[in-house]
Each structure stands twice: as structure tokens, then as C-alpha cells.
Amino acid sequence: MLKVEYLIFIDNQSIKCSDTRTFNHLLQSDPDIAINKNKMTYQGLTVDYVIKNGKVKNTDSNYFQLTFICEKLEKIDDYNKLLKAIRSVLHITNKTPQTLYDGVSLHYAQLAYPQVFEIENMMRKLITKFMLTNVGIDWIKERVPDDVKSSINSENKDLTYLHNVDFIQLKNFLFSENYPSHKENLLQKLKKAKDIKDLNLEDIKALIPNSNWDKYFSEYVNITKEQLSKQWDELYELRCRIAHNRAFAKTDFESVERLCSELRIVIKAALDNLDKIDISDNEREMLTESIAGNFNQSSGEFMALWRVLQSIVINIVKSKKVTDESELPMKGRTWSGDINLLHKVGVIDKELYFRLRKLTNVRNEVVHNTDTLTQEEILNIIYEAKDVIKILKTWE
């Protein structure tokens, strides 16, 4: 059964409709519409029709409530034609008739939602499996932001992290483009270069921001990031229309079917090739950091500042400010080794050294144990990071 209800106010003063009889005459001004008691016929389709009327309180205005019921679901296309004809006539009386109940939208939304649900969960499965197999089981325990934790049903302890992340944020994880952590250092090289011979092509290419999709999945799936991102956005818009009870027509349902069919092939191909993806220890660390940036805005801002901070420290250590090569760590450089060295040779004082240590601890909290930091604490540390960066820039 399909039911639609309209509430009509007579705004056009030239239209004289004071009762149901005159209003029915108005509807039948369309020669294809015929009304016989509680039945309406339009081009061979007959539906149940109920009309009620009344006065708007404290005014002389009339209102009419119309109900149309089609018992045969297979006649939905003909039913839509009838409703379109009704709205065309009603437009004369009121430019914006109010829809009280839209059974047609409900029907198509109910058909569309299971497909949207399937694709959304395929994407969650892809990202969850990718993170678990490449970063580790602790990722789920350690990477849940405060805003997501607060939205989790306390009675359901089995929900995994990505089942509580907004639909559109899944796209951010895959498609947000991130600059390399040593971007500032590379930009300094470009600024100092006096000739093209002073530049390295690989350094220049490294400045091109890259997404997780480009780095890990594009090799195995025959679709561009731009195409996939566009499809995900389109599906998101349709998903929102379902979630917020907006009008949802047959064409919207057909769009959902098309998009889900295309996305299903893409995500399945990515899932089938997960075992072929091999990432380095450095990439693993960057992946863990990217979770904060993609799923929590404040944490993301701090992590962006952290990467700037790292590049500045690396640049200072490599510059002429640090001349004692024997002081460099023997088995490769580390962040702790760099700031210890800068302190030891007197480039940074004790106060700045401990501020850097504090920022290091916060970085570890953000990446590995977000729930211990409040939003206010993260915002305060953002200001701290900006101030330390300002100081360190004077040493570059």
C-alpha cells in the first residue's frame, strides 16, 4: 500500500474554495481526474481518496487535507503520474503545498537503504582489515577519538571503531591528500636553489601530496581517486536524503542502484588485493598518525603542526648549526636523538628542550591513546606547538 497526504492552504484569493465540494471541482479542472465519492481515477488508475477541510484558527482561511491511497504497489509509476497531476492543480492555490506523509519516498528509501548499508560496511571492512593487518590489533583500542566514543551505545560493547565513524569520514581516510613530513625541508631546498641543476627531480615529486588510496590501493583497482571520490560523494548525498526523511524519488533509487553496483566492484577488488599491499615501518607510523588527522579535527591540526616541527628539527640538525658529526647517533637518527643533540651542543636551551619533550609526549598520546586528552588540552597544546615552531624557525 502506498499513501500520500497533502495539507493545502488557499493563498490565491481569486480561488473560491470554501468546502470539499468546490475543492473537488478545482481538482477536476484537469480533465483526466475524476472523483466519485471516496475514489479518484486518473488515466485508468483508481485510488482511495479522502478529503477533510477546516478553518485556520483566528483567520478566515480554509485548509484541506488530502489523502491518496494506492493498494497496488505495481502501479507506483501510474500513482506518481496522478500525484504529479494533483500537484500541478494545487500549485494554483498554493505554491508550496505541505506534504504530511510521503509513502512513495518511503518505498524507494526502503529499497535503497540496504544497498547503501552494504556498500558503507564494505568500505568499513576494507579500512578496518587494512589497518588491522598493517598497523596492528591495538589500533582499534587506541585510536577512538572522544567525539566518537561519546556516540557509542554504552550497551553495545561489540561495536568496532569504524562502525561509529561518519560515512563521509571514511572518504577522508582514503582520499585526503597528505604532504610528506619533510615538506618544509624540501621547500627550503627549492628556495635556496639558484639553478635547475641544484634540484633533484625526486625531491620535487615528493612535494606532490599523496592519499592513502593512491599509495596503497590504486595499483590494484581500475578507477581514479577522483572518480571514486565523486561516486562516494554522490552516494553520501543520497544517503543523507534517506536518513533525513527527504523526498526520495524513483530516479534517486536508480542512482543508488547504479552507484552501489559500481562501488561494489571497486571495493571488492581492493579487498581481494589487500594481501598484496606491503608497507614499511615508516609508512606504518604515518598511517597511525593519519587516523588522528582524518577522524578528529583538533588532533589533525596538532599532527600537521607536529610534522612541521619534525621537518624544522631535521633541517637544523643537518644544517651548519650542528657541526660535530661525531655527536650524531651511530645507527640512524631518531627524533629523541635529534633533540638531545641540539640540547647537548647548545642550539636549544633547557627550557625549549623540555617543551619539545612535552610535545613529544602529547604526540604519543594523540597517536596511541587519544582518550586521555580532552578537547581543551589538545587546543592548548596546538598553541604550544605553534609557539615552539616560531622559536625554532629562527635557527633555520
Is the pLDDT reported for residue 373 higher than 80?
no
Q: Is pLDDT above 80 for 191?
A: no
Torsion angle, alpha carbons of 83, 86, 92, 96, to 10:
-30
Give residue 253's pLDDT band: very low, low, confident or very high (50, 70, 90). Answer: very high
Yes or no: say if 359 and 335 are a contact pair by the CB < 8 Å rule. Answer: no
Distance between CA atoms of 335 and 173, rounded to whole angstroms? 26
* 336 contact partners, CB below 8 Å, separation of at least 6: 360
Q: What are phi and psi of 42, to 5 degrees?
A: -145, 115
Residues 2 and 104 sit within 8 Å (Cβ to Cβ) = yes
CA distance 272 to 45: 49
- Sign of the Cα torsion 268, 294, 176, 215 reads negative
**Percentage, residues of the chain above pLDDT 70:** 67
Identify the band that residue 284 occupies on the pLDDT scale cut at 50, 70 and 90.
low
Domains and CATH numbers, the chain: 2-96 (3.30.1370), 115-176+211-276 (no CATH), 181-210 (no CATH), 296-393 (1.20.120)
Residue 80 pLDDT > 90: yes
Confidence of residue 145 (pLDDT cuts 50, 70, 90): very low
Tally: H helices and E strands in the chain: 16, 6
Sheet holding 33-36, edge to edge: 33-36, 39-42, 45-55, 62-70, 2-9, 98-102
pLDDT at 314 (0 to 100): 79
Would you say the pTM of this structure is higher than 0.85?
Answer: no
